[in-house]
Amino acid sequence: MGQPQKPIAAEQQILSLGRVLQSLREEEDVDVLIETTISYLKEQFDYKLIWIALYDRLNHILFGKGGTTPDHDTSFLCQRVVLSPGDLLEQVVIEQHPLGVADLQTEIRAAEWRKMAEKFHIKGTIILPIRYKDRCLGLLLLGSERWGYLLPGEAKARLMMVLGELGAVLYQNEMDLQHKQTKRTDEPLLELLENLRTLTNLNQRLEAAVQATHKFVSPNRTNVYWFEREGRYFWCRMSNQLVKIDRNSSSQQAAGMTVQELSDFYYALTVNQIVSIGDARSSLKSHFTAKLLQRLKVRSLLAAPIIWQKNLLGFLAVESNEPRIWAEADKNFVQGAAGLISLVAPNESMESTIKQIQEDAQLTGQVAQGIYSEHDLQETLHSCAKKVLARLAATRFLLLQYDSEQNNYQIIYQSQPHNRRPLAFALNTLKELDEQLLQRSTQAVEIENLDEDLRFFSWRSLLLESGVRSLLVCKCTHGHIPGALLVITHETHRSWTTVEKELLWAVSQQIGVIVRQWQLHNRTTQQQKSSQAFEQCLRILTQSQNSKIEVEKKHLERTALEQIASISGCPLAVMLSWPLGESWAEIIPGVVENSQFGIFSDASIPIKTEALIQWALATESYLTLKVDNLPPETRKWLSVPDKGQILVMALRTNADYETTGVVLLADYQERRWSEQSLSATTTLISQLAWWRREKQITRLLESTTEELRQLNWYKHRRLEEIQRITALSLKQIHDLGIPANELTQMRYQLLLRQLDHTAASMSGMLKLEHWQLHLSWETMPIASLLKRSLERIENLLKQQKLWIGVHGLGQQIEEQSPKNSSLARGIPTSNAQSAMAIAGDIVKIELVIHELLINACNSSQSGGRIDIWCRRLDPSKPSDAKHSSAKLGADHQTSLELSITYNGAIEPQLLTELHDNTSKDVLASCNLDQPPGLHLLICQNLMQELGGELNFYQLPDNRVVSRLLLPLVGNDS
């Protein structure tokens, strides 16, 4: 199949090929080229169906250019064929390789050609691409009535040569056509530039630019829209329809379009982007494209921005009522014309611009001069604000300073027209993104429409309520959080030029110097305030007051709380106070400066269940928390706004001392106390805690001293009366004389001597120990001392049915029972034992031993046993030296160890307190404040003054030991 009609000589085939190739090279008309190719194919190849089509790359379509059919009807061969995925024709176009079909009638991938094949009985078919430089320009389809699609090599070579030459000629024709159709923008733009140079008026120049653009692009309308920053709208300043348009015109076109209506279109122009909207193509989002075309009442639009010094002056627009694909030449010309307009536009206001630059330089110079001169800073800011507002046509001038304690921006200076009220609120701290925006900024940050812009969102609601619709923000100082900001606002949506933003930036940097001066001044003032508060508080705390008057004490505490509130700047300062051992706390009000804060001062607060008190006691220093965290029980007596903040700190002096109060401070939402304020506040609270402790100790000691003086006066006067009556009775006995009976006389004299001794000892005590103890030096055998001590508790032993034994006096003493009437018989009286005598104030030592025996009897169970152990300690012996006290061992003096042991109950805490030699909290209750602990402590301290030692401990078998060390009389005494 696919064989030539008749075998011809090689020379004729070459001559025919040469003629057709020559014809293709010399012809320029595409239709003639197609006819020449078809004629050659009909002449040289035996095919019933020949079809040639050209390929449209943009629309992916084949345009039939003719061919031959068996019935000579070529209408089908001139139709347009849309290529679809999977078609044979599309496969050849994409792959650009020949494709053969053995039977076209059975090929399902060529639906239309199957019908044609069935009609003309076409079977074997071959499809070849017409290509040049990997670019498909069309297709050639050859169909035969025979089955198969073989093509001899020689015939295939001639066919490929013809198709190659045809492809080259078609490619060249296409390039020539594109070149002819392509518009040249250089000459029209040069002509427009020459026209603009000769014209002097801006409107004339705009008219020339519009006419040149309209002539080149040929749209339905060509307009120049001008941008008004105050109001943020565009108005048609010039049109190709040569209508005199004024911004004050009442026509709809002159009224213009607001930025809010244009939205995405406006923001594309501000970044110097050309906007192209044509047939199914748009450089904007689809939903906004339809809205823009409807607003302008057009079907196609091409707009180029007019920008001067980064400021949008307007845009040049060509508009068409029909869908249109804008050529690159059209886009380039419109963009070039808009650029030429931007070059000539500033010339109109050149003189006013120069004057404005001079005024701006003068403004910045006056601000700098005011800063570094001795004039009032407020006056400098007033003059600066007045000129800035006039220059920028703004409404408000706001200078903000970040307050770290309140965590917001305070308005430290503001200026506005007389018919506008000053802003009376603080602005919240900025979001992280806004802070980063200001940190990176090198000029003023512009918000043209506060209703739509999400920047500075934390300020948005307050500013909108105050009538602000647009603003400029400049940082005056640098830092992680900008410490000072300059804000210029306007009541309408508007924008500012780059020159205006640069001017405001320069002014803001100079105002930053003013802010730093203020900060230094405020810091100095705060330090002086803190110093004065410290001085005042310390003077109050150290002044002498009558501690017995509770009203004076509370007055001092309230005054101290006022000073603490003054330093911390809190509207509420109270103290929760309670005495040691109490379960309820009292509220001492200090400062309540606002009706939103309050306390129920008559409330009784349980210490153990009140959360604030327990939290403060569990915290080593101060604790801050939000009101939302307070339990309902606390809210019953404490009234603070829902978003307030609280600081509590316990009145703690030492970790070992009990806490008797908590200071509570309250403030508004998100209060952040500075480190300086916190340090001063905690120092004053700590000082108040020590002062309260000092006053409590002073009151306790004064009260105790007063009670002891009363007790001592009372007992001393009673002893004086007893001594007087005893002396009077003895005088009367002596006056009566001695009885005559010899036995009675002997007993009478014995009792009389005892009464004389008692009266004499009482006289010495009244004389020598009125207000302080008098230490005497006497000696007495230990046996005699123990005998006298046991005689004094004989009745108590009988009542308690106690057994007592004395050991270590040279021989074992038999145990004595309550049945023995005289315990003196159990005490040895040999000379050896009599020589073991103790030295010191015998009366006081005897009282100590008596107290220890009384404590042993009271602590023992009925029928129990008490043992008294005596042992001589020689410091020269190592085994004894470690048991003797350091004081006794230092003098190398022999001592006596007297231990009293018994089985009885004793509190472990009492043993610990008697054993510990550390400082104790005099305000805290303990076992040593009352008997028997108080009596044992007195005996322990008294023995230390007498040169001895007294210790208490418990043995592993639970026996309690009272160990007493007494100095023995030496051989040389």
pLDDT at residue 360, as a whole number:
65
pLDDT per residue over 47-83, tens digit each?
888 999 999 887 888 898 889 888 887 788 888 888 8
Q: Which of 481, 388, 494, 377 is nearest to 439 (CA)?
A: 481
Cα–Cα distance measured from residue 490 to residue 504, given in angstroms and rounded to the nearest whole number: 14
Average pLDDT, the chain: 80
∠ Cα 961 965 969 (to 5°)? 145
Radius of gyration of the chain (CA): 59
pLDDT at residue 816, as a whole number:
44
CB 444 within 8 A of CB 473: yes
Cα–Cα distance measured from residue 967 to residue 973, given in angstroms and rounded to the nearest whole number: 12
pLDDT per residue over 160-179, tens digit each?
888 888 888 888 888 877 76
Residue 927 has pLDDT above 70, yes or no: yes
pLDDT per residue over 395-420, tens digit each?
999 999 888 777 889 898 899 888 88
Burial class (CB in 10 A: 0-12, 13-18, 19+), 607: middle
* pLDDT band with cut points at 50, 70 and 90 for residue 917: low
CB 583 within 8 A of CB 606: yes
The H or E element spanning position 639 is: strand 638-639
Q: Which residue has the higher pLDDT, 851 or 892?
A: 851
Q: What is the layout of strands, in order, in the sheet containing 427-428?
A: 427-428, 408-415, 396-403, 484-490, 470-475, 445-447
pLDDT per residue over 478-534, tens digit each?
777 788 899 999 998 888 888 888 888 888 888 888 778 777 777 777 677 766 666
Residue 372: how many CB atoms within 10 A of its CB?
10
Q: Which residue has the higher pLDDT, 616 or 973?
A: 616
Burial class (CB in 10 A: 0-12, 13-18, 19+), 403: middle
Residue 741 backbone dihedrals phi, psi, to 5 degrees: -65, 135
pLDDT at residue 889, as a whole number:
43
Which residue, chain included where needed, has tokens 């120069």? 354
pLDDT at residue 833, as a whole number:
45
Q: In the 8-state DSSP scheme, what is residue 970?
A: P
Q: Which residue has the higher pLDDT, 601 or 666?
A: 666
* pLDDT mean over 319-326: 86
Cα–Cα distance measured from residue 933 to residue 574, given in angstroms and rounded to the nearest whole number: 39
Q: Which of 77, 87, 79, 84 is nearest to 60 (CA)?
A: 84
* pLDDT mean over 867-881: 76
What is the four-CA torsion angle of 806, 807, 809, 813, rounded to 10 degrees? Answer: 70
What's the pTM?
0.46
The H or E element spanning position 238 is: strand 233-239
pLDDT at residue 371, as a whole number:
57
Cα–Cα distance measured from residue 442 to residue 505, given in angstroms and rounded to the nearest whole number: 8
pLDDT at residue 810, as a whole number:
62
Residue 923 has pLDDT above 80, yes or no: no
Instruction: Among 222-231, 539-548, 721-730, name the most confident range.
Output: 222-231
pLDDT at residue 826, as a whole number:
42
* pLDDT mean over 574-578: 89
Which of 714-723, 734-743, 827-836 has the least mean pLDDT? Answer: 827-836
Measured over the CA atoms of residue 680, residue 684, residue 686 and residue 687, the dihedral's sign is: positive
Single-letter residue type at 705: T
pLDDT at residue 950, as a whole number:
92
CB 117 within 8 A of CB 69: no
Residue 352 has pLDDT above 80, yes or no: no
* pLDDT mean over 151-156: 79
Q: In the 8-state DSSP scheme, what is residue 310?
A: T
pLDDT per residue over 188-225, tens digit each?
888 888 888 888 788 888 888 999 888 888 898 999 99
pLDDT at residue 2, as a whole number:
46
Measured over the CA atoms of residue 545, residue 549, residue 554 and residue 559, the dihedral's sign is: negative
pLDDT at residue 901, as a whole number:
94
pLDDT at residue 486, as a whole number:
92
Which of 69-78, 108-117, 196-205, 246-255 has the least mean pLDDT? Answer: 246-255
Cα–Cα distance measured from residue 849 to residue 424, given in angstroms and rounded to the nearest whole number: 82
* pLDDT band with cut points at 50, 70 and 90 for residue 852: very high
What are the tokens at 867? 């043992």
Which residue, chain included where needed, has tokens 């030296």? 881
Whether the upstream peptide bond of residue 70 has omega within 30° of 0, thus cis, is: no
pLDDT at residue 41, as a whole number:
85
End-to-end CA distance of the chain: 158
Residue 275 has pLDDT above 80, yes or no: yes
